[in-house]
């Protein structure tokens, strides 16, 4: 068995003599050639700043990424046509303003250090892959050298060596008879003599070892100064308002709790100085930031600070997973309202003690008067909040409903939308500043700052108690749009509208009862019958057949039989439904199916109001026929002819469809008894419906409450954001599209038939991002432009900084931003020097006009053009960059040689 030759293996044996190393080289060349041919075909229209192509390679047992970085630049045009032959080091990109996002492109540091526009990197695959072995590094580098030589790409090729975090690369470039070697030194602490320019120049010269004197070395320098103590200019949302003002609970929270700006970096830059024109030694330096050629500034932001608005939404998001009811959470504190379980109890003991005056409403709250311990919210907080929700309880309320628009004359800097309200057209929510709007704001505060879920339940409980109190005492609910349940609004709003409609009917009924009790001589009829011809009527009709419930005459129509005037009867008010009830009804209708019987059954179900109208009509028009009813109710089903009858009106017949056999209309007419609307069975039982609403509110679980409020909260959150955006001095460039996206998400959330928490989560994330941006701009504005000078450049700079872009400060300290930076540094230095003991003068030179602290990072770039390696060689570029940080010392070098004359 063992001796059997595996055929497949046999035939796959590679008899070529190419080594792994040669295969690697061939692979790299192949990729490069392919890349080049692709490049010719495509016109580079890629969106990003850097175009990146990545391929995987295997060498022996290790995986490598071979990555091609190319900058999408159009500046080639300005640099002239001989650009191609130019050495990549000669771009003079010493300190650029570009943002290098290292998260995205791990090798982008090479572009920053050498100022390259295009380069290739071969690096070990994976996050921790390393080429620690020196001989291995050499093998790879020689592969790179062969590739650079063979393929005529004029692009530097790098090998990443050592541990990845060290970012150490070796590289090679070869073109136009010049070979450049790239080398990096990375140490924890710098060599002593390399801390200053003089030492570095010596090092550079030694390293070049040019056979003739080096003519001139160009020096560029960048010193980075960081500002972290902002003194009086620490910015928090709370800065503007007093922290625990009760009125701050009346709007949604906004902003961050720590300064979103962590560090402000100032970079003082000198470029292309001659080595002889500057001195930088331990004892003296020409590099005083105030005298720098350029200033760049960059902002470092606090990582994920807590954003209050987003956090408030997040609390609701969390609540969505909580299925306990209000009573579960409140436990003993709450007294469960058990409606009509013991009817006698209702008579003797009201579950909510009814006080005569509303002003004492807090006292009647059963929670507070409860002796079983302290309620979650104490009276001092609860009472103002309840007054805010129900301002009609206080005659002198500062916050009545429906007056907000008048007291808003503050001129906004700019308007994001012509009419924000229009943007909410498709939103199923409630009106701005309505009762449930306020309720959701208050509830979000309870979750966030006032004690969490317990406080939340407490407010909800009080809210429901108040609803019940108002129903039992026939008081309309404030802050609810009048009218029947509006299906375009959110469910909670519909429920309250429903409750208010029930209340209205209850109140009408009670006032009618009251007035009819006063005029007791009359019958208990609540309608005022049309009075004309009453006397005549009395003669005509017998006692049991007296007309009742007449609203008005219907034109000059007369009954067909008797010729008496045709009266429109009082009818029952329409049946009101909220959308959940409608959905149930629809489901019932749908479940019946589509056949003929089902159709008839549906007609029967729907016919209750028809029957009621018929009965009312019969009562108002004794002796009327179905024809009379149809003439009023469905005039198109009465076909008139030219002939006149004995009462002087046109004769006519019912339409064919009304004459059909087993016609539900005629059938019902025959069954209808003459009963005026007020004595009929109510089609809409307001007491029952109100109780349904109250029960609905009472027995919501946490997650259901949260669901009810999410649409309103989303609406309120967007309004809050827009408000903040419109007050910003520097516009967020994509603010409008971001708000539109929020609107779209919010609208969808509010309209989903089944609530989808995921959507709300996305919405919340977007809110947080925008809120953070706004806070960052606010913070920068507060620091850099505290007077709020309206200057386009300043605003743009602040906007750029907030977007993480470095900015150039024109005119340095003479500019507005520059002068602010100087004074903040001065302030910070003064604070610092007073706290530091005087003998600790190592970091702190004691001159009085010191403005800036010691640079946290110094960067030197030295460049020269030298003949190497021999006297008769051509001149080639030499380069050394030294990065001197606090915990890092890095030398980044590139040294060229003539490959033709050596």
Partner 1 sequence: MMAGADPKWQKDAADQNFDYMFKLLIIGNSSVGKTSFLFRYADDSFTSAFVSTVGIDFKVKTVFRHDKRVKLQIWDTAGQERYRTITTAYYRGAMGFILMYDITNEESFNSVQDWVTQIKTYSWDNAQVILVGNKCDMEDDRVISFERGKQLAEQLGVEFFETSAKENMNVKAVFERLVDIICDKMSDSLDTDPNLMSGSGKGQRLTDAPQGPQTGNCNC
Q: How far is the CB of 694 from partner 1 (least distance, A)?
A: 23
Residues 773/766, Cβ–Cβ less than 8 Å:
no
Tell me the C-alpha distance between 285 and 594, whole Å.
Answer: 94
Of the candidate residues 29, 392, 637, 736, the single one contacting partner 1 (CB under 8 A)? 637
Of the candidate residues 462, 613, 686, 771, the single one contacting partner 1 (CB under 8 A)? 613
Q: Phi then psi for 256, rounded to 5 degrees?
A: -115, 160
Of the candidate residues 189, 425, 650, 681, the single one contacting partner 1 (CB under 8 A)? 425
Length of the chain: 902
372 or 657, CB closer to partner 1?
657
522 or 752, CB closer to partner 1?
752
Structural tokens at position 305:
């600070």
Q: For residue 208, give every residue at least 6 positions away whose Cβ sits within 8 Å of its Cβ, in sequence order, or none.
A: 214, 864, 866, 868, 878, 895
Largest CA distance in the chain: 139
Distance of CA 248 to the CA centre of its chain: 22
Q: For residue 369, give every residue at least 6 positions away whose Cβ sits within 8 Å of its Cβ, in sequence order, or none.
A: 353, 363
Of the candidate residues 127, 407, 636, 758, the single one contacting partner 1 (CB under 8 A)? 636
Q: How far is the CB of 663 from partner 1 (least distance, A)?
A: 5
Q: Is 60 in the site for partner 1 (CB under 8 A)?
A: no
Of the candidate residues 62, 263, 481, 663, the single one contacting partner 1 (CB under 8 A)? 663
Give the residue among 257, 248, 313 at the shortest CA–CA distance from 444.
Answer: 313
Q: Is 366 in the site for partner 1 (CB under 8 A)?
A: no
Which residues between 95 and 154 bind partner 1 (CB under 8 A)?
none
Tell me the C-alpha distance between 454 and 647, whole Å.
Answer: 74
Of the candidate residues 142, 655, 701, 857, the single one contacting partner 1 (CB under 8 A)? 655
Of the candidate residues 754, 758, 846, 887, the single one contacting partner 1 (CB under 8 A)? 754
Structural tokens at position 635:
């005039």
402 or 574, CB closer to partner 1?
574
Which residues between 664 and 693 bind partner 1 (CB under 8 A)?
664-665
Q: Is 579 in the site for partner 1 (CB under 8 A)?
A: yes
Before 869, cis peptide (omega within 30)? yes
Tell me the C-alpha distance between 491 and 750, whole Å.
Answer: 10
Q: How is 755-823 classified by DSSP, letter by letter?
A: --HHHHHHHHHHHHHHHHHHHHHHHHHHHH-TT----HHHHHHHHHHHTT--EEETTGGGSHHHHHHHH
Using CB under 8 A, count the residues that bind partner 1. 48
Which of the stretches 55-63, 219-227, 484-492, 774-782 binds partner 1 when contact is defined by CB under 8 A?
484-492
103 or 587, CB closer to partner 1?
587
Q: Is 603 in the site for partner 1 (CB under 8 A)?
A: yes
Angle between helices 735-751 and 702-727 (to 10 degrees): 160
Which helix H or strand E contains 751, and what residues bound it?
helix 735-751
Which of the stretches 134-142, 288-296, 628-636, 817-825 binds partner 1 when contact is defined by CB under 8 A?
628-636
Place of tokens 């003079």: 92
Distance of CA 141 to the CA centre of its chain: 49
Which of the stretches 290-298, 372-380, 654-662, 815-823 binds partner 1 when contact is defined by CB under 8 A?
654-662
Residues 654/663, Cβ–Cβ less than 8 Å:
no
Give the residue among 340, 360, 358 at the shortest CA–CA distance from 350.
Answer: 340
Q: How far is the CB of 658 from partner 1 (least distance, A)?
A: 7
Residues 295/806, Cβ–Cβ less than 8 Å:
no
Give the three-class secondary structure for 88: helix
Q: Is 592 in the site for partner 1 (CB under 8 A)?
A: yes
Q: How is 61-121 classified by DSSP, letter by letter?
A: TEEEEEEEEEE---THHHH-GGGGGS-GGGG--SS------TTT-TTTHHHHHH--SEEEE
Q: Is 52 in the site for partner 1 (CB under 8 A)?
A: no
Q: How far is the CB of 657 from partner 1 (least distance, A)?
A: 4
Of the candidate residues 658, 762, 844, 856, the single one contacting partner 1 (CB under 8 A)? 658
Of the candidate residues 84, 357, 371, 591, the single one contacting partner 1 (CB under 8 A)? 591
Q: Is 660 in the site for partner 1 (CB under 8 A)?
A: yes
306 or 639, CB closer to partner 1?
639
Tell me the C-alpha distance between 830 and 823, whole Å.
Answer: 10
Structural tokens at position 646:
């004995």
Which of the stretches 55-63, 474-482, 592-600, 726-734 binds partner 1 when contact is defined by CB under 8 A?
592-600
Give the three-class secondary structure for 571: coil
State whether the Cα torsion 620-625-628-629 is positive or negative. Answer: positive
Tell me the C-alpha distance between 389 and 56, whole Å.
Answer: 64
Segments in 343-378 forming alpha helices (H) = 343-348, 361-364
Of the candidate residues 138, 404, 413, 744, the single one contacting partner 1 (CB under 8 A)? 744
Structural tokens at position 891:
């030398």
Q: How far is the CB of 564 from partner 1 (least distance, A)?
A: 23
Residues 655/639, Cβ–Cβ less than 8 Å:
yes
Q: Is 582 in the site for partner 1 (CB under 8 A)?
A: yes
Of the candidate residues 602, 679, 805, 808, the single one contacting partner 1 (CB under 8 A)? 602
Torsion angle of the four alpha carbons 324, 330, 335, 338, in this order, in degrees rounded to the nearest 10: 0
Q: How far is the CB of 554 from partner 1 (least distance, A)?
A: 13
Structural tokens at position 15:
């008899």
743 or 767, CB closer to partner 1?
743
Q: Is 589 in the site for partner 1 (CB under 8 A)?
A: yes
Which of the stretches 220-228, 344-352, 506-514, 661-669 binds partner 1 when contact is defined by CB under 8 A?
661-669
100 or 633, CB closer to partner 1?
633
Q: Is 371 in the site for partner 1 (CB under 8 A)?
A: no
Q: Is 594 in the site for partner 1 (CB under 8 A)?
A: yes
343 or 656, CB closer to partner 1?
656
Q: Is 577 in the site for partner 1 (CB under 8 A)?
A: yes
Please list the residues that pair with 807 across neighbouring strands: 297
Q: How far is CA 791 from CA 2, 278, 797, 817, in A?
A: 86, 37, 10, 11
CA angle 719, 724, 727 (to 5 degrees): 125
Which of the stretches 202-210, 529-537, 749-757, 780-788 binds partner 1 when contact is defined by CB under 8 A?
749-757
Q: Is 609 in the site for partner 1 (CB under 8 A)?
A: yes
Instruction: Return the number of other C-beta atoms located less than 10 Å from residue 847's C-beta.
Output: 7
40 or 591, CB closer to partner 1?
591
Q: Is 752 in the site for partner 1 (CB under 8 A)?
A: yes
Q: How far is the CB of 759 from partner 1 (least distance, A)?
A: 9
Which residues between 543 and 572 bind partner 1 (CB under 8 A)?
571
Which of the stretches 14-22, 125-133, 184-192, 585-593 binds partner 1 when contact is defined by CB under 8 A?
585-593
Distance of CA 636 to the CA centre of its chain: 55
Q: Is 574 in the site for partner 1 (CB under 8 A)?
A: yes
Which of the stretches 27-35, 275-283, 292-300, 650-658 binds partner 1 when contact is defined by CB under 8 A?
650-658
Q: How far is the CB of 650 from partner 1 (least distance, A)?
A: 17
Which of the stretches 161-169, 269-277, 531-539, 752-760 binds partner 1 when contact is defined by CB under 8 A?
752-760
Structural tokens at position 361:
């409403």
Q: How far is the CB of 762 from partner 1 (least distance, A)?
A: 13
Of the candidate residues 534, 606, 836, 854, the single one contacting partner 1 (CB under 8 A)? 606
655 or 899, CB closer to partner 1?
655
Q: Phi then psi for 575, rounded to 5 degrees?
A: -80, 130
Q: Contact residues for partner 1 (CB under 8 A)? A: 425-426, 484, 487-488, 571, 574-575, 577, 579, 582, 586, 588-594, 599, 601-603, 605-607, 609-610, 613, 633-634, 636-637, 655-660, 663-665, 744, 748, 751-754
């Amino acid at each position: 068995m063992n001796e059997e030759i595996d055929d497949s293996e046999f035939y796959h044996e590679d008899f070529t003599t190419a080594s792994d190393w040669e295969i690697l080289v061939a692979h790299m060349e192949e990729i490069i050639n392919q890349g080049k041919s692709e490049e010719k075909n495509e016109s580079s229209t890629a969106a990003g700043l850097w175009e990146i192509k990545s391929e995987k390679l295997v060498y022996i047992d290790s995986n490598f990424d071979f990555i091609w970085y190319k900058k999408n630049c159009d500046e080639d045009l300005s640099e002239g046509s001989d650009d191609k032959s130019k050495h990549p080091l000669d771009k003079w990109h010493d300190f650029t303003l570009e943002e290098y996002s290292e998260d995205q492109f791990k090798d982008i540091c090479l572009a920053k250090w050498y100022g390259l526009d295009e380069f290739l990197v071969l690096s070990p695959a994976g996050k921790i892959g390393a080429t620690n072995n020196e001989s291995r590094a050499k093998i790879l580098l020689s592969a790179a050298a062969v590739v650079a030589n063979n393929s005529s790409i004029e692009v530097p090729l790098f090998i990443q060596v050592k541990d990845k975090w060290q970012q150490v690369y070796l590289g090679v470039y070869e073109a136009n008879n010049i070979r450049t070697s790239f080398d990096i030194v990375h140490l924890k602490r710098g060599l002593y003599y390399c801390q200053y320019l003089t030492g570095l120049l010596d090092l550079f010269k030694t390293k070049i070892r040019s056979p003739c004197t080096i003519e001139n070395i160009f020096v560029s320098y960048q010193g980075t100064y960081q500002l972290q103590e902002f003194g009086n200019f620490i910015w928090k949302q709370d800065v503007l308002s007093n922290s625990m003002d009760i009125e701050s609970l009346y709007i949604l929270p906004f902003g961050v709790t720590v300064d979103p700006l962590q560090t402000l970096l100032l970079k003082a830059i000198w470029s292309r100085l001659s080595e002889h024109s500057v001195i930088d030694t331990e004892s003296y330096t020409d590099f005083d930031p105030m005298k720098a050629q350029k200033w760049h500034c960059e902002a470092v932001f606090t990582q994920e600070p807590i954003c209050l608005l987003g956090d408030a939404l997040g609390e609701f998001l969390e609540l969505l997973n909580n299925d306990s009811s209000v009573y579960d959470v409140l436990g003993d504190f709450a007294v469960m309202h058990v409606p009509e379980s013991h009817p006698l109890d209702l008579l003797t003991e009201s579950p909510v003690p009814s006080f005569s005056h509303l002003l004492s409403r807090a006292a009647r709250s059963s929670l507070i008067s409860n002796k079983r311990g302290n309620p979650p919210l104490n009276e001092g907080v609860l009472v103002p909040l309840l007054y805010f929700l129900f301002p009609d309880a206080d005659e002198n309320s500062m916050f009545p409903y429906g007056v907000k628009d008048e007291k808003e004359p503050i001129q906004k800097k700019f308007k994001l939308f012509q009419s924000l309200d229009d943007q909410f057209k498709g939103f199923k929510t409630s009106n701005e500043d309505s009762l449930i709007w306020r309720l959701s704001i208050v509830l979000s505060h309870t979750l966030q700052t006032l004690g969490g879920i317990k406080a939340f339940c407490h407010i909800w409980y009080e809210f429901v108690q108040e609803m019940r109190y108002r129903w039992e005492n026939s008081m309309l609910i404030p802050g609810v749009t009048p009218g029947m349940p509006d299906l375009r609004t959110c469910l909670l709003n519909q429920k309250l509208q429903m409750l208010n409609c029930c209340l209205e009917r209850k109140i009408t009924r009670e006032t009618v009862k009251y007035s009819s009790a006063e005029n007791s001589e009359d019958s208990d009829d609540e309608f005022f019958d049309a009075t004309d011809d009453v006397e005549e009527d009395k003669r005509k009709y017998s006692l049991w057949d007296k007309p009742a419930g007449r609203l008005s005459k219907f034109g000059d129509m007369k009954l067909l039989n008797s010729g008496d005037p045709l009266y429109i009867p009082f009818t029952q008010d329409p049946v009101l439904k909220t959308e959940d009830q409608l959905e149930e009804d629809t489901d019932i209708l749908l479940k019946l199916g589509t056949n003929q019987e089902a159709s008839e059954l549906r007609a029967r179900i729907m016919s209750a109001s028809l029957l009621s109208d018929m009965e009312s009509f019969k009562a108002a028009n004794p002796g009327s026929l179905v024809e009379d009813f149809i003439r009023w109710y469905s005039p198109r089903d009465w076909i008139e002819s030219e002939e006149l009858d004995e009462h002087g009106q046109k004769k006519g017949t019912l339409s064919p469809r009304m004459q059909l056999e087993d016609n539900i209309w005629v059938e019902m007419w025959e069954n209808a008894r003459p009963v005026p609307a007020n004595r009929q069975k109510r089609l809409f039982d307001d007491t029952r419906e109100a109780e349904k609403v109250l029960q609905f509110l009472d027995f919501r679980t946490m997650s259901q409450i949260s669901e009810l409020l999410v649409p309103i909260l989303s609406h309120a959150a967007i309004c809050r954001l827009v408000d903040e955006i419109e007050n910003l001095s520097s516009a967020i460039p994509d603010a409008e599209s971001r708000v539109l996206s929020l609107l779209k998400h919010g609208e969808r959330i509010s309209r989903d038939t089944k609530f989808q928490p995921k959507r709300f989560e996305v919405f919340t994330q977007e809110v947080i991002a925008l809120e953070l941006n706004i806070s960052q701009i606010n913070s920068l504005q507060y620091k850099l432009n505290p007077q709020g000078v309206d200057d386009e450049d300043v605003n743009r700079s602040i906007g750029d900084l907030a977007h993480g872009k470095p900015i150039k400060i024109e005119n340095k300290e003479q500019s507005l931003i520059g002068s602010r930076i100087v004074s903040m540094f001065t302030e910070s230095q003064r604070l610092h020097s007073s706290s530091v003991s005087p003998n600790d003068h190592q970091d702190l030179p004691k001159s009085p006009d010191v403005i800036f602290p010691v640079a946290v990072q110094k960067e030197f770039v030295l460049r020269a053009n030298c003949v190497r390696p021999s006297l008769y060689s051509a001149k080639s570029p030499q380069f050394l960059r030294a990065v001197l940080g606090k915990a890092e010392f890095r030398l980044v070098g590139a040294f060229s040689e003539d490959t033709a004359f050596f």
